[in-house]
Amino acid sequence: MDSTPSAGRRRVAKGLAVAGLIAAGAVGGGIAASTLSASADPTTTPTTSSSPSGTSSTDTGRGHGGIGGSTPVRSDEKSVSAADEATLKAAALKAVPGGTVVRIETDSGDAAYEAHMTKTDGTVVTVKFDGNLAVVGVEDGMGK
């Protein structure tokens, strides 16, 4: 008696292995799609988190218009103090009524501070501030 599987058994075993891989891929893809769609949902409730400097910000996650969470994304921009953050957030919300503040940080570009926000229609804006915490402009997108 030959101990090697027949060609038919090999085909069945190979077919079962392929079917198992397809099933695993479908499950993994479903989980990934579910996770991505949940993080991209603009109706999710923002959560408060603590940034490395100890200040708290509204953190809506990476899916929020693609602008990141509450901590600065660039190494040349830093979190602000809790007192400054409260003042900047109030001014940003006044400049963009109904908007959601995603992140407040120093600005390495053309302003002293900036607030990255999502408007009620889902578009991204950046509110720019001078050194006195006064609004100097609102730019579409992530800012200059």
| CATH for 101 | 3.30.505.20
pLDDT of residue 74: 75
**CA pair distance 42, 21, nearest whole angstrom:** 34
How many domains, the chain? 2
pLDDT of residue 108: 87
Tens-place pLDDT, residues 95-126: 999 999 999 999 988 999 999 999 999 999 99
**Other CB atoms closer than 10 Å to residue 34's CB: what's the count?**
10
**Other CB atoms closer than 10 Å to residue 91's CB: what's the count?**
18
55 pLDDT tier (thresholds 50, 70, 90): very low
Question: Taking a C-beta distance cutoff of 8 angstroms, is the pair 49, 70 a contact?
Answer: yes
Domain holding 17, by residue range, is: 1-39
User: Could you tell me if 2 and 70 lie in one domain?
Assistant: no
Integer CA distances (angstroms), 102 to 15, 28, 52, 68, 88, in order: 49, 30, 16, 7, 12
9 pLDDT tier (thresholds 50, 70, 90): low
Q: What's the chain's average pLDDT?
A: 72
User: Could you tell me if 103 and 129 lie in one domain?
Assistant: yes
Tens-place pLDDT, residues 70-101: 666 777 789 999 999 999 999 999 999 999 99
User: Could you tell me if 2 and 60 lie in one domain?
Assistant: no
